[in-house]
Amino acid sequence: MTGATGFLQRYAGLRGLLPGDSALRAAAAAAFETAGLPGGTPGRRIEAWKYTSLRPVAEANFRPVTPRHEAETILARLPLLDAPRIVFVDGVLRRGVSVMPAAGFAPFAEQPDFGTLTWPDREPMVALNTMLATDGAVLDVPAACDGGLLQLISIVGGETDYHPRHSIRLGKGAQLTLMEVSAGDGSYLLNTVAEIHVAEGARLTHIRLQDEGLSAFHVSTTYVDVQAGGSYDSFTLNIGAQLSRTEVHAQLSGVGAIACLNAAQILSGSQHSDFTTVVGHAAPGCTSRQTVKNVLAGRSRGVFQGRIEVARDAQKTDGYQMNQALLLSPYAEVDSKPELEIFADDVKCSHGATVGALDSEQMFYLRSRGIPDGEARSILVRAFLADALDAVADETIRARLEAAIEQWWERQEA
Amino acid sequence: MLEIRNLAVSIGDKPILQGIDLVVPSGEVHALMGPNGSGKSTLGYVLSGRDDYTITSGEVTFDGVNLLDMAPEQRAAAGVFLAFQAPVELPGVNNANFLRTALNAIRRAHNKAELDAVQFLKLARAETRRLAMPEDMLKRNVNVGFSGGEKKRNEVLQMAILRPKIAVLDETDSGLDIDALKIVADGVNALRGPEFSALVITHHQRLLDHLVPNRVHVLAQGRIVRSGGPELATELERTGYAGLTAEAA
């Protein structure tokens, strides 16, 4: 059974066995049944999914069987850091390959927490996750504690669908750097939902590397709430999957809260990657920053939809959005949709977009120094990418992301 | 030896160069002067292979080889170097890596072994010191955040490292103070020898005091309207181009 019906049937068979609030799951299932998969029903259009259709997901036949693949091999090629790591293999916590943090972690399977921020009734993929989630990470950094660096890794395979559910809470003045890596092998669906609470004065740095198998589907929806003086600083690098959608809803609820939702998408072949954000400025004096860079080769397509909502009393809001694309082929496409909805009158909000091919003057300069055409192109693309990673302040993490990009680049040159 | 015969070049329908004849023998430095818009920079670009121009007639050979059939990188490998009037910024490209990539590409073209990072840095540091440039220029991104003078000196550094057979310097002296001007002139003088020639595009006698040319040519309205010895530059400093432009018209 394919598409939405297949997922609903699976839920029907599992409903008594799933952890957590069964009423919430039932409501999510009803919402999912009504909405269907975005793009999965001909003739039904959802504005939030204007440029991305999950029709291939609706047409895929996911089988809930344990796939056979070498999780350790994939783990070995990932650019991991020397720090605690929580590893999920095929959607299930695998303690054997994890390096557990000293405290503050529980698996969702044992301590299910659906949180309070998500909207299963508005987001079909969140409804699907709520209906079928079985495991994930529940992280808690108590007030005034420094959680250091923590890696959250997902390795999956086969032709199966996975619905990890994460909950991350930072108490007042707490700190954490979270590096989330997802990779795999197969034509699976990874549909993650994360809920993040950053309390007053807390700081979360959230780095994501999406390096899924090239025939995989990746959907990730994150809800963030940032209280007064808190900061959520995120960077997402999308290089894998045939189709991916990263959606972030960030609510700045307290005075002076900060959210940075930066991203780079590096695509080739017929890859499609969508980075969609909704930033809500609900309190005065908050800052949001978004720089999204795309490098698009082949027939790939990059999407950035950025919505900024400024509430009536969110005076002195400072919002900035920039989408840049480097098109390496005449068949590549970028779609950019900024939306500003401003009800306050004393705000600074700006957005911009640039799209271009490689600069002909820079190309000529390099070639006039003896550097052949192909090598000159490679130098300029790498430079654009290096620039994209400037948003990552931590040098060790940046080096890991550079290594992932280098692997991507070697794949292109091969 | 660079030989330009009856070279005519246009951008779109607009003729820029209208029949240039110019020979720069090996071992000689020639100055190219002339009013703004006369086509001096165009000549430099055409020699180094920029493809925004249409060559409507004429030929250009370097040591007997047809330059016009070659890609820019092939010309660089053959020994042609253009010091840009407005050097291009390359954000995200480290200056030392850029220079090493260029040098190794040229060495590869000559079947010479490539230099590793250590060998290259030794060479680059020596040249940087010789040109009285701060060493951190190698660590910075190419021309990004460089002052006008630093950009020009970076061109001279590239020339010193790549060791071309013929260098076209397009107003490399403009915007430089006296000390920087001397550094640029010294950079060219250091390369002077029987195997090296240069075509120096300039508006000022000043550079030619330090870099005495064998010949001076005046380009006006797309043609060489006068050629002479170094004394021609002195004369132009006094009289300007007005008389020559009238002659050409």
Write down the ipTM of this complex. 0.96
Phi and psi angles of residue A380, each rounded to the nearest 5 degrees, phi first: -70, -35
CB-count burial class (<10 Å; 0-12, 13-18, 19+) for A188 = buried
Q: Nearest residue of A to residue B168 by CA position?
A: A368
Q: Residues, chain A, total?
A: 414
pLDDT tens, position by position, for chain B (249 residues)? 999 999 999 999 999 999 999 999 999 999 999 998 899 999 999 999 999 999 999 999 999 999 999 999 999 999 999 999 999 999 989 999 999 999 999 999 999 999 999 999 999 999 999 888 888 889 999 999 998 889 999 999 999 999 999 999 999 988 888 888 888 898 899 999 999 999 999 988 888 999 999 999 999 999 999 999 999 988 888 888 877 765 544
Whether the CB-CB separation of B70 and A368 falls below 8 Å is answered with no
| Residue A292 belongs to domain spanning | 3-358
Give residue limits of the domains in chain B: 2-248
Q: Name every residue whose Cβ is closer than 8 Å to that of residue A273 and which is 6 or more positions away in sequence.
A: A238, A241, A243, A244, A245, A246, A265, A267, A294, A300, A301, A302, A303
> CB B92 to CB A382 under 8 A?
yes
Q: What is the pLDDT of residue B174?
A: 84
Rounded to the nearest angstrom, the minimum Cα separation between A266 and chain B is 17
Q: How many CB atoms lie within 10 A of CB A378?
A: 16
> CB B72 to CB A368 under 8 A?
yes
Rounded to the nearest angstrom, the minimum Cα separation between A295 and chain B is 15
CA distance A141 to A147: 6
The packing angle between helices B148-162 and B117-130, to 10°, is 120
The residues pairing with B174 across neighbouring beta strands, listed in sequence order, are none
Evaluate whether residue A401 is within a structural domain.
no
Among A241, A180, A236, smallest CA distance to A211 is for A241
Q: Which of B49, B103, B109 lies nearest to residue A368, judging by beta carbons? A: B49
The letter for the amino acid at A345 is D
The residues pairing with A24 across neighbouring beta strands, listed in sequence order, are none
Q: Calculate the alpha carbon distances from A138 to A51, A196, A234, A380, B142 in Å.
A: 32, 10, 19, 41, 46
- Asked whether the predicted pLDDT for residue A43 surpasses 80, the reply is no
Neighboring chain B residues of A375 at a CB cutoff of 8 Å: 101, 105
Q: DSSP letters along A83-146, please?
A: S-EEEEETTEE-GGG-B--SSSEEETTTS----SS--TTT-HHHHHHHHH----EEEEE-TT-E
> CB A368 to CB B82 under 8 A?
yes
CA distance A87 to A96: 9
Neighboring chain A residues of B48 at a CB cutoff of 8 Å: 368
> CB A368 to CB B90 under 8 A?
no
Among B170, B141, B145, B135, smallest CA distance to B156 is for B170
Among B149, B43, B151, smallest CA distance to B88 is for B151
How are the residues of chain A apportioned to helix, strand and coil, as percentages rounded to the nearest 5? 25, 40, 35
> CB B101 to CB A371 under 8 A?
yes
> CB A365 to CB B87 under 8 A?
yes
List the end-to-end C-alpha distance of chain A, in Å, as a whole number: 38
Q: Nearest residue of B to residue A366 by CA position?
A: B102
CA distance A138 to A131: 18
> pLDDT grade, residue A153 (50/70/90)?
very high
Place of tokens 């204007």: A50
Residue B44 CA, chain-centre distance (Å), reads 7
> CB B105 to CB A384 under 8 A?
no
Structure tokens at B166: 């013929």
> CB B88 to CB A361 under 8 A?
yes
- The residues of B whose Cβ lies within 8 A of any Cβ of A are 48-51, 71-73, 75-77, 81-82, 84, 87-88, 90-93, 98, 101-103, 105-106, 109, 158, 162
Among A398, A410, A190, A387, smallest CA distance to A294 is for A387
CB-count burial class (<10 Å; 0-12, 13-18, 19+) for B74 = middle
Among A327, A378, A320, A332, smallest CA distance to A355 is for A327
Q: Nearest residue of A to residue B110 by CA position?
A: A370
Among B225, B198, B199, B230, smallest CA distance to B213 is for B230
CA distance B120 to A339: 50
Whether the CB-CB separation of B59 and B69 falls below 8 Å is answered with no
> CB B73 to CB A367 under 8 A?
yes
Rounded to the nearest angstrom, the minimum Cα separation between B11 and chain A is 16
CA distance A264 to A238: 6
Evaluate whether residue A392 is within a structural domain.
no
Element spanning A309, H or E: strand A301-310
Whether the CB-CB separation of A62 and A160 falls below 8 Å is answered with yes
Reduce the DSSP state of residue A81 to 3 states and report it: coil
Q: What stretches of chain B show up as alpha helix (H) in DSSP?
A: 40-48, 72-78, 95-109, 117-130, 148-162, 178-191, 205-210, 231-239, 242-248
Give the single-character DSSP code of B196: B
Q: What is the pLDDT of residue A1?
A: 61
Evaluate whether residue A71 is within a structural domain.
yes
The CATH architecture annotation of domain B2-248 reads 3-Layer(aba) Sandwich (3.40)
Among A163, A134, A119, A127, smallest CA distance to A32 is for A127
Q: What is the pLDDT of residue A414?
A: 65
Q: What is the pLDDT of residue B249?
A: 47
Higher model confidence: residue A14 or residue A3?
A: A14
Q: What is the pLDDT of residue A102?
A: 86
CA distance A95 to A89: 10
The CB-side HSE value for B130 (13 A sphere, CA atoms) comes to 20
Evaluate whether residue A367 is within a structural domain.
no
> pLDDT grade, residue A68 (50/70/90)?
low
Neighboring chain B residues of A368 at a CB cutoff of 8 Å: 48-50, 72-73, 75-76, 81-82
Neighboring chain A residues of B109 at a CB cutoff of 8 Å: 370
User: What is the radius of gyration, based on Cα positions, of chain A?
Assistant: 21
Neighboring chain A residues of B47 at a CB cutoff of 8 Å: none
Evaluate whether residue A382 is within a structural domain.
no
Q: For A316-340, how does the pLDDT look when each residue is reduced to its tens digit (9 = 90+)?
A: 999 999 999 999 999 999 999 999 9
Q: How many CB atoms lie within 10 A of CB A157?
A: 23
